A and B are shown apart, each in its own frame.
Chain A
Amino acid sequence: MTLNPDLPIQFSRTHRLQWEEAQQKNVILYPEGMVELNQSSAEILKRCDGTRTLAQIVSDLEEKFATQGLHNDINAFLEVALQNGWIHQN
Protein backbone atom coordinates (compact mmCIF):
# COMPACT_ATOMS: atom_id res chain seq x y z
CA MET A 1 0.00 0.00 0.00
CA THR A 2 1.63 3.24 -1.14
CA LEU A 3 0.29 6.67 -1.90
CA ASN A 4 -1.05 7.23 -5.42
CA PRO A 5 -0.06 10.78 -6.49
CA ASP A 6 -3.00 11.04 -8.89
CA LEU A 7 -5.78 10.36 -6.40
CA PRO A 8 -7.24 12.72 -3.83
CA ILE A 9 -6.60 11.91 -0.18
CA GLN A 10 -9.34 11.55 2.40
CA PHE A 11 -9.04 11.54 6.17
CA SER A 12 -10.47 8.32 7.63
CA ARG A 13 -14.15 8.27 8.50
CA THR A 14 -13.45 6.03 11.46
CA HIS A 15 -10.89 8.35 13.05
CA ARG A 16 -11.40 11.84 14.36
CA LEU A 17 -9.00 14.78 14.05
CA GLN A 18 -9.56 17.26 16.84
CA TRP A 19 -7.99 20.24 18.60
CA GLU A 20 -7.46 19.56 22.31
CA GLU A 21 -7.58 22.74 24.35
CA ALA A 22 -6.14 21.09 27.47
CA GLN A 23 -3.15 19.74 25.55
CA GLN A 24 -2.81 22.69 23.18
CA LYS A 25 -2.40 20.35 20.25
CA ASN A 26 -4.28 18.44 17.60
CA VAL A 27 -4.89 14.74 18.15
CA ILE A 28 -6.21 11.78 16.20
CA LEU A 29 -8.78 9.79 18.11
CA TYR A 30 -9.77 6.20 17.36
CA PRO A 31 -11.11 3.24 19.35
CA GLU A 32 -9.35 3.36 22.70
CA GLY A 33 -6.41 5.33 21.37
CA MET A 34 -5.01 8.76 20.68
CA VAL A 35 -2.09 10.10 18.66
CA GLU A 36 -0.74 13.55 19.48
CA LEU A 37 0.20 15.58 16.43
CA ASN A 38 2.72 18.37 15.94
CA GLN A 39 1.58 21.44 14.06
CA SER A 40 2.87 20.44 10.63
CA SER A 41 1.31 16.96 10.77
CA ALA A 42 -2.01 18.50 11.74
CA GLU A 43 -1.82 21.04 8.89
CA ILE A 44 -1.23 18.22 6.40
CA LEU A 45 -4.09 16.05 7.72
CA LYS A 46 -6.55 18.94 7.77
CA ARG A 47 -6.05 19.19 4.02
CA CYS A 48 -6.89 15.54 3.41
CA ASP A 49 -10.48 16.41 2.58
CA GLY A 50 -11.09 14.03 -0.31
CA THR A 51 -10.51 16.71 -2.98
CA ARG A 52 -6.77 17.43 -2.82
CA THR A 53 -3.99 15.22 -4.20
CA LEU A 54 -0.47 15.07 -2.76
CA ALA A 55 0.78 17.77 -5.15
CA GLN A 56 -2.07 20.08 -4.21
CA ILE A 57 -1.45 19.61 -0.48
CA VAL A 58 2.24 20.37 -1.02
CA SER A 59 1.60 23.56 -2.99
CA ASP A 60 -1.05 24.62 -0.50
CA LEU A 61 1.33 24.34 2.43
CA GLU A 62 4.30 25.83 0.56
CA GLU A 63 2.13 28.83 -0.14
CA LYS A 64 0.77 29.10 3.39
CA PHE A 65 4.21 28.93 5.00
CA ALA A 66 5.96 30.83 2.16
CA THR A 67 8.51 28.09 1.63
CA GLN A 68 9.68 25.51 -0.95
CA GLY A 69 10.80 21.90 -1.01
CA LEU A 70 8.19 20.36 1.32
CA HIS A 71 7.31 17.52 -1.06
CA ASN A 72 9.51 14.82 0.43
CA ASP A 73 8.58 15.50 4.04
CA ILE A 74 4.86 15.63 3.31
CA ASN A 75 5.02 12.51 1.17
CA ALA A 76 6.86 10.62 3.91
CA PHE A 77 4.34 11.66 6.56
CA LEU A 78 1.35 10.74 4.39
CA GLU A 79 2.85 7.31 3.73
CA VAL A 80 2.96 6.78 7.51
CA ALA A 81 -0.60 8.09 7.81
CA LEU A 82 -1.75 5.65 5.14
CA GLN A 83 -0.06 2.69 6.85
CA ASN A 84 -1.80 3.66 10.10
CA GLY A 85 -5.20 3.92 8.46
CA TRP A 86 -5.58 7.66 9.22
CA ILE A 87 -6.13 8.44 5.54
CA HIS A 88 -7.25 6.55 2.44
CA GLN A 89 -7.63 7.01 -1.29
CA ASN A 90 -10.46 5.69 -3.44
Chain B
Amino acid sequence: MAGYTKTNITPPRWLLAELTYSCPLQCPYCANPIDYAKYGSELSTDDWKRVLTQARKMGAVQLGLSGGEPLTRTDLTEIVKHARELGYYSNLITSGYGLTEEKIVQLKEAGLDHIQVSIQASSQELNDHIAGTTSFEHKQQVAHLVKKHGYPMVLCVVIHRENIHQMADILAMAEALGADYLELANTQYYGWAHANRDLLLPTKEQFEEAEKIAQAFKETVAGKMKIYYVVPDFYEDRPKACMNGWGTTFLTIAPDGVALPCHSARELSNLDCPNVKDFSIEEIWHDSKAFNFFRGYDWMEEPCRSCDEKDKDKGGCRCQAYLLTGDMYATDPVCSKSPKHYVIDEAIASARNAALADNEKPLIFRNSKNSRLLS
Protein backbone atom coordinates (compact mmCIF):
# COMPACT_ATOMS: atom_id res chain seq x y z
CA MET B 1 0.00 0.00 0.00
CA ALA B 2 1.06 3.55 -0.51
CA GLY B 3 2.82 5.14 2.37
CA TYR B 4 4.44 2.19 4.04
CA THR B 5 8.17 2.15 4.10
CA LYS B 6 10.20 -0.98 4.51
CA THR B 7 11.96 0.43 7.55
CA ASN B 8 8.64 0.16 9.40
CA ILE B 9 8.47 -3.59 9.00
CA THR B 10 9.16 -5.52 12.19
CA PRO B 11 10.09 -9.20 11.94
CA PRO B 12 7.59 -11.98 12.71
CA ARG B 13 7.73 -13.33 16.26
CA TRP B 14 4.83 -15.80 16.18
CA LEU B 15 4.44 -18.50 13.61
CA LEU B 16 1.15 -20.38 13.57
CA ALA B 17 1.57 -23.55 11.56
CA GLU B 18 -1.85 -24.92 10.69
CA LEU B 19 -0.60 -28.34 9.76
CA THR B 20 -3.89 -29.73 8.53
CA TYR B 21 -7.62 -29.03 8.24
CA SER B 22 -8.37 -32.65 9.18
CA CYS B 23 -10.04 -32.99 12.55
CA PRO B 24 -11.98 -35.73 14.29
CA LEU B 25 -13.97 -33.08 16.16
CA GLN B 26 -16.76 -30.94 14.73
CA CYS B 27 -16.85 -27.87 16.98
CA PRO B 28 -19.39 -25.39 15.62
CA TYR B 29 -17.15 -22.41 16.50
CA CYS B 30 -14.07 -23.69 14.65
CA ALA B 31 -11.80 -20.89 13.44
CA ASN B 32 -11.01 -22.70 10.19
CA PRO B 33 -12.63 -21.20 7.11
CA ILE B 34 -16.12 -22.45 6.23
CA ASP B 35 -14.87 -23.62 2.84
CA TYR B 36 -11.86 -25.53 4.23
CA ALA B 37 -12.88 -28.75 2.46
CA LYS B 38 -11.85 -27.36 -0.90
CA TYR B 39 -8.22 -26.85 0.15
CA GLY B 40 -7.19 -30.43 -0.16
CA SER B 41 -3.48 -30.63 -0.64
CA GLU B 42 -1.28 -30.31 2.43
CA LEU B 43 2.31 -29.17 2.58
CA SER B 44 4.93 -31.90 2.74
CA THR B 45 7.26 -32.46 5.68
CA ASP B 46 10.07 -30.79 3.75
CA ASP B 47 7.90 -27.76 2.98
CA TRP B 48 7.16 -27.32 6.69
CA LYS B 49 10.80 -27.70 7.63
CA ARG B 50 11.78 -25.06 5.10
CA VAL B 51 9.08 -22.68 6.36
CA LEU B 52 10.20 -23.16 9.96
CA THR B 53 13.83 -22.56 9.06
CA GLN B 54 13.11 -19.41 7.07
CA ALA B 55 10.79 -17.87 9.66
CA ARG B 56 13.18 -18.68 12.50
CA LYS B 57 15.99 -16.94 10.65
CA MET B 58 13.87 -13.78 10.54
CA GLY B 59 13.22 -13.92 14.27
CA ALA B 60 10.08 -16.00 14.80
CA VAL B 61 10.41 -17.76 18.15
CA GLN B 62 6.95 -18.83 19.31
CA LEU B 63 5.60 -21.67 17.20
CA GLY B 64 1.99 -22.83 17.36
CA LEU B 65 1.35 -26.26 15.88
CA SER B 66 -2.32 -26.24 15.15
CA GLY B 67 -4.95 -27.33 12.65
CA GLY B 68 -7.51 -28.92 12.39
CA GLU B 69 -6.05 -31.52 14.66
CA PRO B 70 -2.25 -31.50 14.30
CA LEU B 71 -2.01 -35.05 15.68
CA THR B 72 -3.43 -36.33 12.42
CA ARG B 73 -0.11 -35.45 10.75
CA THR B 74 2.07 -38.55 10.90
CA ASP B 75 5.19 -36.37 10.64
CA LEU B 76 4.34 -34.25 13.71
CA THR B 77 7.26 -35.59 15.77
CA GLU B 78 9.68 -34.89 12.95
CA ILE B 79 8.40 -31.32 12.62
CA VAL B 80 8.66 -30.81 16.39
CA LYS B 81 12.23 -32.09 16.38
CA HIS B 82 13.19 -29.71 13.61
CA ALA B 83 11.54 -26.81 15.47
CA ARG B 84 13.49 -27.61 18.64
CA GLU B 85 16.77 -27.75 16.76
CA LEU B 86 16.05 -24.29 15.39
CA GLY B 87 15.31 -22.90 18.88
CA TYR B 88 11.56 -22.41 18.64
CA TYR B 89 9.37 -22.58 21.70
CA SER B 90 6.79 -24.99 20.37
CA ASN B 91 3.15 -25.13 21.44
CA LEU B 92 0.97 -28.05 20.41
CA ILE B 93 -2.61 -26.83 20.17
CA THR B 94 -4.71 -29.96 20.25
CA SER B 95 -8.09 -31.42 21.07
CA GLY B 96 -6.16 -34.23 22.74
CA TYR B 97 -8.15 -36.64 20.64
CA GLY B 98 -5.94 -39.59 19.77
CA LEU B 99 -3.08 -38.47 22.03
CA THR B 100 -1.53 -41.51 23.73
CA GLU B 101 1.04 -41.62 26.53
CA GLU B 102 3.53 -43.06 24.08
CA LYS B 103 3.04 -40.09 21.77
CA ILE B 104 3.32 -37.61 24.65
CA VAL B 105 6.69 -39.10 25.60
CA GLN B 106 7.85 -39.20 21.99
CA LEU B 107 6.96 -35.52 21.48
CA LYS B 108 8.71 -34.58 24.74
CA GLU B 109 11.86 -36.32 23.58
CA ALA B 110 11.61 -34.53 20.25
CA GLY B 111 11.62 -31.24 22.17
CA LEU B 112 7.99 -30.13 22.36
CA ASP B 113 7.66 -27.39 24.99
CA HIS B 114 3.99 -27.34 25.79
CA ILE B 115 0.65 -28.92 25.09
CA GLN B 116 -2.59 -26.99 25.10
CA VAL B 117 -5.60 -29.26 25.46
CA SER B 118 -9.05 -28.00 24.64
CA ILE B 119 -12.07 -29.16 26.57
CA GLN B 120 -15.48 -28.09 25.34
CA ALA B 121 -17.40 -28.08 28.63
CA SER B 122 -17.27 -29.26 32.25
CA SER B 123 -19.70 -32.11 31.71
CA GLN B 124 -19.37 -35.15 29.50
CA GLU B 125 -22.75 -34.72 27.88
CA LEU B 126 -22.18 -31.14 26.76
CA ASN B 127 -18.52 -31.67 25.85
CA ASP B 128 -19.37 -34.57 23.58
CA HIS B 129 -22.31 -32.71 22.07
CA ILE B 130 -20.27 -29.60 21.21
CA ALA B 131 -17.26 -31.60 19.99
CA GLY B 132 -19.55 -33.79 17.92
CA THR B 133 -17.44 -36.70 19.17
CA THR B 134 -17.27 -38.78 22.35
CA SER B 135 -14.09 -37.38 23.81
CA PHE B 136 -14.61 -36.00 27.33
CA GLU B 137 -13.03 -38.80 29.37
CA HIS B 138 -10.15 -39.19 26.98
CA LYS B 139 -9.42 -35.45 27.20
CA GLN B 140 -9.31 -35.63 30.98
CA GLN B 141 -6.83 -38.50 30.80
CA VAL B 142 -4.71 -36.58 28.33
CA ALA B 143 -4.65 -33.57 30.67
CA HIS B 144 -3.32 -35.81 33.45
CA LEU B 145 -0.68 -37.32 31.19
CA VAL B 146 0.48 -33.91 30.00
CA LYS B 147 1.10 -32.95 33.65
CA LYS B 148 2.68 -36.28 34.47
CA HIS B 149 5.31 -35.84 31.79
CA GLY B 150 6.38 -32.40 32.94
CA TYR B 151 4.82 -30.16 30.33
CA PRO B 152 3.28 -26.89 31.41
CA MET B 153 -0.41 -27.67 30.97
CA VAL B 154 -2.70 -25.19 29.33
CA LEU B 155 -6.36 -25.94 29.32
CA CYS B 156 -8.39 -24.09 26.74
CA VAL B 157 -12.13 -23.76 26.98
CA VAL B 158 -14.01 -21.83 24.33
CA ILE B 159 -16.92 -20.01 25.96
CA HIS B 160 -20.31 -19.50 24.31
CA ARG B 161 -24.00 -19.59 25.14
CA GLU B 162 -24.18 -23.38 25.44
CA ASN B 163 -21.52 -23.62 28.17
CA ILE B 164 -21.24 -20.17 29.76
CA HIS B 165 -23.54 -21.23 32.60
CA GLN B 166 -20.91 -23.83 33.55
CA MET B 167 -18.23 -21.23 34.32
CA ALA B 168 -17.89 -22.18 38.00
CA ASP B 169 -17.65 -25.89 37.11
CA ILE B 170 -15.17 -25.22 34.31
CA LEU B 171 -12.91 -23.38 36.75
CA ALA B 172 -13.19 -26.19 39.30
CA MET B 173 -12.35 -28.72 36.59
CA ALA B 174 -9.24 -26.74 35.58
CA GLU B 175 -8.09 -26.66 39.19
CA ALA B 176 -8.75 -30.36 39.68
CA LEU B 177 -6.77 -31.19 36.53
CA GLY B 178 -3.85 -29.09 37.80
CA ALA B 179 -3.79 -26.69 34.86
CA ASP B 180 -0.89 -24.23 34.98
CA TYR B 181 -2.71 -21.94 32.59
CA LEU B 182 -6.36 -21.69 31.76
CA GLU B 183 -7.42 -20.00 28.58
CA LEU B 184 -11.01 -18.84 28.77
CA ALA B 185 -11.60 -17.95 25.18
CA ASN B 186 -14.83 -16.15 24.57
CA THR B 187 -15.85 -17.20 21.08
CA GLN B 188 -14.61 -14.91 18.33
CA TYR B 189 -17.19 -14.77 15.57
CA TYR B 190 -15.32 -15.79 12.43
CA GLY B 191 -15.53 -18.88 10.27
CA TRP B 192 -17.92 -21.44 11.71
CA ALA B 193 -18.69 -19.32 14.75
CA HIS B 194 -19.92 -16.57 12.45
CA ALA B 195 -22.30 -19.03 10.79
CA ASN B 196 -23.57 -20.19 14.20
CA ARG B 197 -23.55 -16.82 15.91
CA ASP B 198 -27.26 -16.68 16.77
CA LEU B 199 -26.84 -19.91 18.70
CA LEU B 200 -23.50 -19.15 20.34
CA LEU B 201 -23.48 -15.50 21.35
CA PRO B 202 -24.38 -15.16 25.04
CA THR B 203 -26.36 -12.26 26.40
CA LYS B 204 -24.60 -9.38 28.12
CA GLU B 205 -25.99 -10.53 31.47
CA GLN B 206 -24.53 -13.99 30.94
CA PHE B 207 -21.13 -12.49 30.12
CA GLU B 208 -21.11 -10.26 33.13
CA GLU B 209 -22.09 -13.08 35.46
CA ALA B 210 -19.43 -15.43 34.02
CA GLU B 211 -16.75 -12.76 34.10
CA LYS B 212 -17.49 -12.01 37.74
CA ILE B 213 -17.08 -15.70 38.64
CA ALA B 214 -13.83 -15.96 36.64
CA GLN B 215 -12.44 -12.80 38.22
CA ALA B 216 -13.10 -14.00 41.77
CA PHE B 217 -11.52 -17.36 40.94
CA LYS B 218 -8.45 -15.67 39.46
CA GLU B 219 -7.67 -14.17 42.86
CA THR B 220 -7.99 -17.48 44.69
CA VAL B 221 -5.52 -19.24 42.35
CA ALA B 222 -3.00 -16.38 42.00
CA GLY B 223 0.52 -17.83 41.92
CA LYS B 224 -0.75 -21.32 41.01
CA MET B 225 -2.68 -20.89 37.80
CA LYS B 226 -2.54 -18.13 35.22
CA ILE B 227 -5.73 -17.23 33.47
CA TYR B 228 -5.81 -15.87 29.94
CA TYR B 229 -9.18 -14.27 29.32
CA VAL B 230 -10.02 -13.63 25.68
CA VAL B 231 -12.52 -10.79 25.81
CA PRO B 232 -15.91 -10.98 24.13
CA ASP B 233 -15.43 -8.01 21.85
CA PHE B 234 -19.10 -7.68 20.89
CA TYR B 235 -19.65 -6.28 24.37
CA GLU B 236 -16.63 -3.97 24.37
CA ASP B 237 -16.59 -0.28 23.47
CA ARG B 238 -13.36 -0.46 21.55
CA PRO B 239 -12.01 -3.11 19.18
CA LYS B 240 -9.10 -5.40 19.90
CA ALA B 241 -5.69 -4.55 18.43
CA CYS B 242 -6.06 -7.52 16.17
CA MET B 243 -2.86 -9.53 15.65
CA ASN B 244 -1.00 -6.68 17.39
CA GLY B 245 -1.31 -4.87 14.07
CA TRP B 246 -1.37 -6.38 10.58
CA GLY B 247 1.94 -7.85 9.46
CA THR B 248 3.81 -6.79 12.60
CA THR B 249 4.09 -9.94 14.69
CA PHE B 250 1.99 -12.88 13.50
CA LEU B 251 2.43 -15.16 10.54
CA THR B 252 0.01 -17.99 9.85
CA ILE B 253 0.67 -20.71 7.31
CA ALA B 254 -2.46 -22.61 6.26
CA PRO B 255 -2.32 -26.36 5.55
CA ASP B 256 -1.96 -25.84 1.78
CA GLY B 257 0.89 -23.36 2.21
CA VAL B 258 -1.00 -20.08 1.92
CA ALA B 259 0.60 -17.44 4.13
CA LEU B 260 -1.86 -15.31 6.08
CA PRO B 261 -1.41 -12.22 8.25
CA CYS B 262 -4.01 -13.77 10.56
CA HIS B 263 -5.72 -17.15 10.52
CA SER B 264 -9.03 -15.64 9.39
CA ALA B 265 -7.59 -13.53 6.57
CA ARG B 266 -8.57 -16.16 4.05
CA GLU B 267 -12.10 -14.78 4.36
CA LEU B 268 -11.01 -11.41 2.92
CA SER B 269 -11.34 -10.92 -0.80
CA ASN B 270 -8.64 -9.82 -3.25
CA LEU B 271 -5.72 -10.13 -0.89
CA ASP B 272 -3.88 -12.58 -3.16
CA CYS B 273 -2.28 -14.29 -0.21
CA PRO B 274 1.03 -15.84 -1.32
CA ASN B 275 1.96 -19.49 -1.01
CA VAL B 276 5.16 -20.75 0.59
CA LYS B 277 5.58 -23.06 -2.37
CA ASP B 278 6.17 -20.01 -4.57
CA PHE B 279 7.94 -17.54 -2.26
CA SER B 280 10.30 -17.49 0.70
CA ILE B 281 9.01 -16.27 4.08
CA GLU B 282 11.30 -13.26 3.72
CA GLU B 283 9.68 -12.32 0.39
CA ILE B 284 6.20 -12.95 1.74
CA TRP B 285 6.72 -10.90 4.88
CA HIS B 286 8.45 -7.96 3.23
CA ASP B 287 7.21 -7.75 -0.33
CA SER B 288 3.82 -9.43 -0.74
CA LYS B 289 0.72 -7.38 -1.39
CA ALA B 290 -1.20 -9.24 1.32
CA PHE B 291 1.22 -8.57 4.17
CA ASN B 292 1.59 -4.89 3.25
CA PHE B 293 -2.10 -4.30 2.67
CA PHE B 294 -3.05 -3.04 6.14
CA ARG B 295 0.36 -2.11 7.48
CA GLY B 296 0.58 1.33 9.02
CA TYR B 297 -2.30 3.81 8.88
CA ASP B 298 -2.68 4.93 5.26
CA TRP B 299 -5.39 2.40 4.47
CA MET B 300 -7.70 3.72 7.19
CA GLU B 301 -11.05 5.37 6.63
CA GLU B 302 -12.71 7.77 9.04
CA PRO B 303 -13.30 7.68 11.96
CA CYS B 304 -10.06 5.67 12.38
CA ARG B 305 -7.87 7.93 10.26
CA SER B 306 -8.11 10.92 12.58
CA CYS B 307 -8.70 8.95 15.78
CA ASP B 308 -6.30 9.48 18.67
CA GLU B 309 -6.67 5.81 19.66
CA LYS B 310 -5.57 4.31 16.34
CA ASP B 311 -2.12 3.61 17.74
CA LYS B 312 -3.68 1.47 20.43
CA ASP B 313 -6.20 -0.64 18.49
CA LYS B 314 -4.88 -0.31 14.90
CA GLY B 315 -8.45 0.14 13.65
CA GLY B 316 -9.47 -3.25 15.07
CA CYS B 317 -9.97 -6.40 13.08
CA ARG B 318 -10.10 -6.35 9.26
CA CYS B 319 -11.87 -9.68 9.04
CA GLN B 320 -14.56 -8.54 11.46
CA ALA B 321 -15.03 -5.29 9.51
CA TYR B 322 -15.40 -7.30 6.31
CA LEU B 323 -17.72 -9.96 7.71
CA LEU B 324 -20.05 -7.49 9.38
CA THR B 325 -20.01 -4.46 7.08
CA GLY B 326 -18.86 -5.90 3.75
CA ASP B 327 -16.03 -3.35 3.69
CA MET B 328 -12.63 -4.55 4.82
CA TYR B 329 -11.33 -0.96 5.14
CA ALA B 330 -14.10 0.06 7.53
CA THR B 331 -13.62 0.75 11.22
CA ASP B 332 -14.18 -2.45 13.17
CA PRO B 333 -17.92 -2.10 13.96
CA VAL B 334 -17.26 -3.19 17.55
CA CYS B 335 -16.01 0.38 18.08
CA SER B 336 -18.73 2.65 19.39
CA LYS B 337 -17.34 5.39 17.12
CA SER B 338 -18.05 3.28 14.03
CA PRO B 339 -20.95 4.60 11.92
CA LYS B 340 -21.92 0.93 11.50
CA HIS B 341 -21.83 0.03 15.18
CA TYR B 342 -25.53 -0.76 14.87
CA VAL B 343 -24.64 -4.08 13.19
CA ILE B 344 -23.27 -5.26 16.54
CA ASP B 345 -26.46 -4.25 18.32
CA GLU B 346 -28.44 -6.08 15.66
CA ALA B 347 -26.30 -9.21 16.06
CA ILE B 348 -26.80 -9.15 19.82
CA ALA B 349 -30.57 -8.67 19.43
CA SER B 350 -30.77 -11.43 16.84
CA ALA B 351 -28.94 -13.87 19.12
CA ARG B 352 -31.16 -12.92 22.04
CA ASN B 353 -34.27 -13.55 19.94
CA ALA B 354 -32.90 -16.90 18.83
CA ALA B 355 -32.29 -17.84 22.46
CA LEU B 356 -35.87 -17.00 23.36
CA ALA B 357 -37.43 -18.71 20.35
CA ASP B 358 -39.37 -21.92 20.93
CA ASN B 359 -37.82 -23.85 18.11
CA GLU B 360 -34.14 -22.96 18.08
CA LYS B 361 -32.46 -23.96 14.84
CA PRO B 362 -29.73 -26.59 15.16
CA LEU B 363 -25.99 -25.81 15.30
CA ILE B 364 -24.08 -26.31 12.07
CA PHE B 365 -21.24 -28.65 12.95
CA ARG B 366 -17.85 -28.25 11.36
CA ASN B 367 -17.30 -31.15 9.00
CA SER B 368 -16.44 -31.66 5.36
CA LYS B 369 -20.03 -32.31 4.34
CA ASN B 370 -21.25 -29.02 5.80
CA SER B 371 -18.19 -27.25 4.44
CA ARG B 372 -19.05 -28.32 0.91
CA LEU B 373 -22.72 -27.45 1.41
CA LEU B 374 -21.94 -23.94 2.62
CA SER B 375 -19.21 -22.95 0.19
Contacts and interface: CB of A to CB of B under 8 A. Distances in A.
A14 B152 contact: yes
Between A13, A22, A32, the greatest number of chain B beta carbons within 10 A of the residue's beta carbon is seen for A32
A18 interface: yes
Contact of B152 (A20, A27, A31): A31
A29 B88 CA distance: 9
A31 B59 contact: no
Contacts of B114: 14, 30-31
B223 A18 contact: no
B349 interface: no
B91 interface: yes
Interface residues of B, number: 23
B85 to A, nearest CB: 13
B59 A32 contact: no
Interface string B170-214: 000000000011000000000000000000000000000000000
A20 B113 CA distance: 17
Contacts of B154: 31-32
Interface in A12-49: 13-14, 16, 18, 20, 22-23, 27, 29-34
Contacts of B150: 13-14
Contact of B113 (A16, A27, A85): A16
Interface of A: 1, 13-14, 16, 18, 20, 22-23, 27, 29-34, 83, 85
The 10 closest A-B pairs by CB, nearest first: A22-B59, A29-B89, A14-B152, A31-B114, A31-B154, A31-B152, A31-B181, A1-B223, A16-B89, A32-B91
